């Protein structure tokens, strides 16, 4: 009887591992999701420049970024069947990526604002492009970390 219980436990454990791996594999990011998120980052990092030259650019850009990100998250949830929502704090491996994203947002915004104030528009645009690439890369790293945590069954309490 002990041998049978042990065999059943191993089989259940293997089934759980397979289910976790299947769930994690469904969360792979499609090309269009990466493109939409990059567009959202680009709009977000264009706001310091746009606010200098266009009235209402900050409000309009903020609304556009929020709408784009929410629609991208919902589309990803619909395609993958995994609804992460906006709060992925419960996945421990994604936390460093979250901190990196916040740092990129603050550093990019501060640098762009300073460069625009000193009338260095080309440099501000270059910073915006670099921040967009870095933000998109960090977001992909964030999602890879969530996939690893889903596969391993790690979720913070």
Report CA 143 to chain centroid distance, whole Å.
6
CA pair distance 91, 88, nearest whole angstrom: 6
Contact (CB, 8 A) for 96 and 105: no
Give the pLDDT confidence score for residue 118 in this predicted structure: 94
Task: Show Cβ contacts of residue 142 under 8 Å, excluding neighbours closer than 6 positions.
Answer: 88, 94, 97, 98, 101
10-residue mean pLDDT series, the chain (157 residues):
65 74 76 94 90 81 91 88 70 87 94 94 95 95 86 69
Q: What is the pLDDT of residues 19-47, one digit of tens each?
A: 777 776 777 889 999 999 999 999 999 98
Give the pLDDT confidence score for residue 71 in this predicted structure: 93
Q: The whole model's pTM is what? A: 0.81
Cα radius of gyration (the chain): 20
What does the domain layout of the chain look like in residue ranges? 2-152
């Amino acid at each position: 009887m002990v041998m049978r219980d042990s065999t059943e436990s191993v089989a259940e454990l293997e089934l759980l591992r397979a289910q976790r791996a299947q769930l994690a594999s469904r969360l792979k990011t499609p090309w269009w999701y990466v493109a939409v998120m990059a567009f959202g980052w680009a709009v977000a990092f264009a706001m310091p420049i746009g606010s200098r030259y266009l009235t209402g650019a900050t409000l309009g850009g903020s609304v556009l970024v929020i709408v784009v990100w929410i629609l991208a998250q919902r589309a990803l949830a619909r395609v993958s069947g995994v609804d992460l929502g906006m709060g992925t704090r419960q996945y421990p491996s994604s936390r460093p990526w979250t901190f990196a994203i916040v740092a990129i947002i603050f550093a990019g915004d501060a640098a762009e604002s300073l460069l625009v104030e000193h009338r260095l528009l080309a440099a501000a645009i270059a910073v915006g492009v670099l921040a967009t690439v870095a933000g998109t890369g960090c977001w992909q790293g964030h999602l890879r970390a969530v996939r690893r945590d889903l596969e391993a069954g790690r979720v913070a309490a």
